[in-house]
Chain A
Amino acid sequence: MTRILLVEDNEMNRDMLTRRLERKGFTIEAAGDGEEALKKIAASQPDLVLMDMNLPILNGWATCRELRANPATQTLPIIALTAHAMAEDEQKARAAGCNDYTTKPIDFPLLLAKIDNLLTA
């Protein structure tokens, strides 16, 4: 059973993605901000993280950098989910340590492919 941590502060989007991914057989845990995400990753060690970038308290980029700085989570697959769709936004996300990047509104099959791709790699 693949466990995914979904970091998303927008309640509607969190609810929607959780339910859709659960239907695809993933076990989903959700966090509303970067700090909560770091705590939950340390506690439950998920297989993959889906990370919104505009987060309160600790934003997505900072959270990613912190994860990459920690040896335990250095290789943890992270996919950035963001409504920032400019070209430099992808650069920014990858520079912060994300393995992949997808924009909102989310193309669900594409997201599944990306998850699959990262988990089998």
Chain B
Amino acid sequence: MISLPRLTLRLRLSISIIAIVALFTLTNLTYQLSSENRNLRLDNLQNAVASQLATVTIRQLLENQEKEILVLDALKDGGKEQLSEEEVENGLSDLISLQAEISRLKPYVYAETVDSYNTLLTGYDALHDGWYRFYVGYNNNQTPSTVKIEREFANTMQLLSEFESLEILAAEQQTLDLQKTVRFTDRITLTIYLFTIALTVSLGYLLIRYTNRSLNELNLGTVRIGGGDLKYHIPVNNDDEIGDLTIAFNEMSDKLSNAMAQVQQSKEKADQANRSKTNFLANMSHELRTPLNAIIGYSEMIIEDYREEKALDAEQAVEDLARILSSGRHLLQLINDVLDLAKIESGNMTVFNETFDSVDIIEELMSTMAPIAKKGDNLLVLEKSQDIPHLYNDAVKFRQLFLNLLSNACKFTHNGKITILVTYNAKTRHAIYHVSDTGIGMTPSQLTRVFEAFVQADSSTSKKYGGTGLGLSICKQFVELMDGSMDVTSAEDEGTTFTIVLPTRAPIQKSTDAIPAENQQELGLDLNASSNNEMTTVAEEDALGRVLVIDDDPESRQLLLRHLEKESYIGLEASDAKQGIAIANEQQPDLILLDLMMPNIDGWTALSVLKESPSTRHIPVILQSMLDEKNLGLDLGAAEFLPKPVDRQRMATILRHLNPQDRRGSALLIAPETESRKLLLEELADEAWQCMVATSMAQVIERIQQKSPDIIFIGLGMPYDSVLEILAMLSGKETDAPTNRAITNSVMINNKDEDTVARLSAPITAPIYVVSETPLGSSQSRRLDLPADQIIHFNKDDKSSLEAILNLS
């Protein structure tokens, strides 16, 4: 494939100029040629004239000489004349000058007349010879015969005439040829000249017309786009600079249009949020007023009874009071639910993780629900596929979640079956819970709104079945807080199944105990400067990492920085993309939180700059936007996408996943290299621990001095005595055992330095766990002088005790 070069404006202009210059040069050359020919013609004419003159002179001289010879001859016949020396001399010199005169003809000889000239020369030579001998032999009477000389003379004259006429003919022929050439070159010159003019004019015209049209189109387009028609695309007709400009312009209008759409969408989202808030308030007012109506009405009635009738129907009163109580309780439930929802929505719902047996809790709930199930003639069944591992999650929320689901199932099912099926996916380490009933079910349209607040199948449902309409909404939010997912399937009159998937190990949650003042800050209600100053800064060494926040909005930036600080990150801030890129280059943060909507340079551009620069491309970038642009963002090199407004839990989870520095802590593993050690290391790395390994006493000390570990594991294939020795060293006790003994014969080589114990200056505060592949004997355990829970088993089949420890720390 030959790819033609792009016909750019510059190329067009260059080609035109080159063509015009070339043509002008050609014109000039032909002109030069014709003028040279003209000169040649002139020269030729001159030559012809000169040759003619020379011929005439020669003829004259020849005739004079002949006359002189004839006179001398006549005198000699008289017999008394003698030539003086001088006269002979003169005669001879005349002959020489005549010869010279004939030689002067040579330059005028043409190719056609060369032969004739040579004949003339030969003829004259003979004449010359005759005349010469005449002069020389005159005084001795030895002159050749004049008859012969005269013949020679006539011959020479004849030859001269022939030469002369041939010369004229040749000159004429030459002139004619030259004239032809001159005419021809003149014609070429004129033609090229005219063509050059025509070409210049037409090229100029085309260029003007072409640029004018393109620029006009561009101008029209800019006016239209400027007028607000952002969807308008200027047609791209040319693959040149103007085409490039048009494309750039169209791209700009696209970006503008996208930005406008984003703004519009954010506005709609905000409006929607506002509407649903108003709706929520209206609904809540309605829901609160209904039980209050009963409470106030019955109370008033009872008061009236006392005041007016005095004789009270006790049975009726108890019934009415029971109604007041039930309404009051309903109200309390409602308020609790609303508070839960509000707490979740403001991001202040705390998650307290602990290890618990989820099946235990479900069994317990089932016994609580049994009387209610029995009342509706429902059968309550628990099925589990295998042993479900303990969950490390929020047990209180788990209980509330399943209580809610079970009571819902009982509420909407009569004379049916309620099944809880628990399974475990070992690959993803998720526990899966299905709560199914054979109750009234839901229509597809009800199903789509089932998790919305205050939505029950229809308004009569709540009156028939009770409930606040908030329960499922809360359940769903709880599950999300617990890092799980919740789904529902249902068919009308057939039943409903809720499916909950929870990780067996939820991500580490930092306590979010909130002080009211702090709450306000988190909600962005109190953003004054003084509260900012109260921010406690995270010490560099305690920080999980440094995160750069690039956001033009100071409020959201401050909010993010506060979130980061609470999550133990050091926050860096930049108010625009340029500053952000500069800081990223200089300070090399561990992570970048990048807002997409920014003035001047937007987040997309900043992202591409960050991802192209070799000094920043390794830093994970988390995009932030009101809109869901996750896929596009990930395509362009972002590591994650965090929707705005920011959910702190979600942010923390993302940061934890991405942060290369975010480790739970450092673990020191003192053990020889074995398969079990490899397993343990993998286990620790899985749990985001930074691992150090030591195989000798010296290394132990070295590692501890490098970085004091948060947790120490010792054992796994190490001789029992060596374990004791290292334990003693770590606890700073003097030991009777010689310190230079090898820990193992093969791998562990002890340091012979006597000062090893002394060099471990600070006592170790990190918890020390002795790990063994097989249970230790009781006497061995006693000698370790460690609490029982710090002696653990670990092998490829039993990792539970290790997991328990890791979850605790």
Which residues of A are at the interface with B, using a C-beta cutoff of 8 A? 9-13, 15-17, 19-20, 23, 54, 56, 83-86, 103-106, 108
Contact = CB atoms under 8 A, between A and B. Distances in A.
Given A56-B458, A84-B282, A105 B289 contact: yes
Given A12-B327, A13-B297, A20-B297, A56 B289 contact: no
Nearest to B305: A23
B339 interface: no
B297 A108 contact: yes
Contact of B286 (A12, A15, A19, A84): A84
A23 B305 CA distance: 10
Contacts of B459: 54, 56
A55 B301 CA distance: 25
B802 interface: no
B463 interface: yes
A85 B289 contact: yes
B296 interface: yes
Nearest to A104: B293
B459 to A, nearest CB: 5
A85 B463 CA distance: 19
Interface centre among A9, A11, A16, A108 (most CB of B within 10 A): A16
Given A13-B297, A56-B459, A108-B297, A23 B304 contact: yes
Nearest to A109: B300
Contact of B297 (A54, A83, A84, A106): A106
A106 B285 CA distance: 14
B327 A104 contact: no
B301 A83 contact: no
Interface in B536-555: none
Interface in B284-312: 285-287, 289-290, 292-298, 300-301, 304
Interface string B320-335: 1001000100000000
Interface of B: 282, 285-287, 289-290, 292-298, 300-301, 304, 320, 323, 327, 458-460, 463
Given A12-B327, A83-B285, A83-B287, 5 more contacts: A10-B290, A10-B463, A19-B301, A23-B304, A104-B293
Contact of B285 (A9, A15, A86): A86
A104 B292 contact: yes
Contact of B293 (A54, A84, A106): A106
Contact of B290 (A15, A23, A83, A86): A83
Contacts of A17: 297
A106 B460 CA distance: 21
B282 A105 contact: no
A20 B302 CA distance: 10
B290 A106 contact: no
Nearest to A86: B282
B460 A16 contact: no
A81 B293 CA distance: 11
A16 B301 contact: yes
18 contacts: A10-B290, A10-B294, A12-B294, A13-B297, A15-B323, A16-B297, A16-B320, A23-B304, A56-B459, A85-B286, A85-B289, A86-B285, A104-B289, A104-B290, A104-B292, A105-B295, A108-B297, A108-B300
A35 B452 CA distance: 29
A119 B292 CA distance: 28
B292 A105 contact: yes
A52 B458 CA distance: 16
Given A9-B463, A56-B458, A56-B460, A105 B285 contact: no
B515 to A, nearest CB: 35
B293 A83 contact: yes
B16 to A, nearest CB: 74
Contacts of A103: 289
Contacts of B323: 12, 15-16
A56 to B, nearest CB: 4
A54 B461 CA distance: 12
Contacts of A108: 297, 300
Contact of A105 (B293, B320, B458, B460): B293
Q: Which of A13, A19, A84 has the most CB of B within 10 A?
A: A13
A16 to B, nearest CB: 4
Contacts of B458: 56
A105 B286 contact: no
A105 B289 CA distance: 6
Contacts of B290: 10, 13, 83, 104
Contacts of A13: 290, 293-294, 297
A85 B285 CA distance: 7
Contacts of B285: 83-86
User: Sorted from nearest, which 9 A-B pairs have the closest CB atoms?
Assistant: A56-B460, A83-B289, A104-B293, A16-B297, A105-B293, A105-B296, A105-B292, A12-B294, A83-B286
Max chain B CB contacts within 10 Å: which of A19, A86, A104? A104
Give the most central of A19, A20, A56, A105: most B CB within 10 Å.
A105
Contacts of A9: 460, 463
B609 to A, nearest CB: 51
A105 B463 contact: no
Contacts of A83: 285-287, 289-290, 293
A101 to B, nearest CB: 14
A106 B297 CA distance: 7
A22 B107 CA distance: 157
Contacts of A23: 304
A110 B325 CA distance: 25
Contacts of A56: 458-460, 463
Nearest to A88: B282
A105 B328 CA distance: 13
A13 B304 CA distance: 17
Nearest to A33: B460
Contacts of A10: 290, 294, 463
Contacts of A15: 323
Contacts of A54: 286, 459
Contacts of A11: 463
A91 to B, nearest CB: 14
A10 to B, nearest CB: 6
Residue of A11, A12, A15, A56 contacting most chain B CB atoms (<10 Å) = A12
A16 B293 CA distance: 9
A54 B458 CA distance: 10
A4 to B, nearest CB: 16
Contacts of A84: 282, 285-286
Contacts of B293: 13, 16, 83, 104-106
A10 B463 CA distance: 6
Nearest to B459: A54
B293 to A, nearest CB: 4
B281 to A, nearest CB: 9
A53 B533 CA distance: 53
Contacts of A85: 285-286, 289
